[in-house]
A and B are shown apart, each in its own frame.
Chain A
């Protein structure tokens, strides 16, 4: 095809467009998929109704949901050619830094013999893997929600989308299943689970996000 003809053809059918973003409906479905995966695969905690009356699960949810939000923001910036993604990456690092600081202070204020127990909880060895498992169900929908974007760095954009999937998964996991209640636990094991989801997202994005 000649370039002149191509330009004519492209201009002929032009329609107005709205700014591209991650599809909010698909993101909501991704959150729903994470909740369903937690309940069906891992089971809801037996004291769920009672537990959600306390502030702790919600504090965990605020941390992981804000991480997801920052990762979505990063994906949005990475998905727009020529836009500097660094503000969103700083926001992600700042959130993790705040959680780690909080966890560190909390641990330091405890009697030395209880520190290790608070940090490792009952489930430190499965927490990250569970979050990773759940994010496998949220991830495809999160990636699908970004298909209108144009990431010029597919690996970085995949990392952001993976972190967003991990954040959604961790939020569902922290509210519905996990009974761990220390900031040190969440800042370490939740963050590692989300980071692992991010790394898998980066590997997927490298190929899946090319356009």
Chain B
């Protein structure tokens, strides 16, 4: 897990810096990305009252907007956003009169949960990919899910770049064939 988190951090931070300079387009993209990350983040931690997740997401987006000046440009974006999300979650629990027991996690969980939306998708994906031979499967995971370039993924799995290209192509063909026969 945790694939693409580094790239994601760089992308979000770039958007954040542009937002701080007053770029409304970047800000809109950033808030949308955050919404997609925050929704599963809150839903998972609100076991039993998922209905509040949407309110909490809105609350958190407003806080991120209103308090954007507290972001230190020299520090990682994810750590800042995670600290706000965690604070809003604790505040929510406190208002409900529940003991606010929210463990301090790695800030990257905010992005990790966003990468594969929920367990169902992950399970399905695993099932579909399991028809491929292991080496081919790892390659396709790296390229199509992990966010590696073809050259990087080839190196990671011991392919030459040309062979990797062919392998990915074949794998995709196999996969799409298997999915479409499933649906018949």
Contacts and interface: CB of A to CB of B under 8 A. Distances in A.
Given A14-B19, A82-B83, A210-B91, A19 B69 contact: yes
Nearest to B19: A14
B3 interface: no
Given A210-B91, A211-B67, A82 B107 contact: yes
A16 B19 CA distance: 7
A192 to B, nearest CB: 32
B61 A83 contact: no
A20 interface: yes
Given A14-B22, A14-B23, A150-B63, A1 B75 contact: no
Interface in B39-70: 54, 57-58, 61-63, 65, 67-70
B84 to A, nearest CB: 5
Contacts, number: 88
B143 interface: no
Instruction: Give the one of A11, A12, A210 with max B CB within 10 A.
Output: A11
B22 A3 contact: no
B23 A79 contact: no
B72 A10 contact: no
Interface in A5-31: 6-8, 10-12, 14-20
A78 to B, nearest CB: 11
Contact of B68 (A12, A17, A83, A211): A17
A152 interface: yes
29 contacts: A1-B58, A3-B58, A7-B28, A7-B61, A8-B28, A10-B27, A11-B28, A11-B31, A14-B22, A14-B24, A15-B22, A16-B21, A17-B20, A18-B69, A19-B70, A19-B71, A19-B73, A20-B67, A81-B67, A81-B70, A81-B81, A81-B84, A82-B81, A83-B72, A148-B67, A150-B84, A152-B84, A210-B91, A211-B67
Interface of B: 19-25, 27-28, 31-32, 35, 54, 57-58, 61-63, 65, 67-73, 75-76, 79-84, 86-87, 91, 107
Interface of A: 1, 3, 6-8, 10-12, 14-20, 79-83, 148-150, 152, 210-211
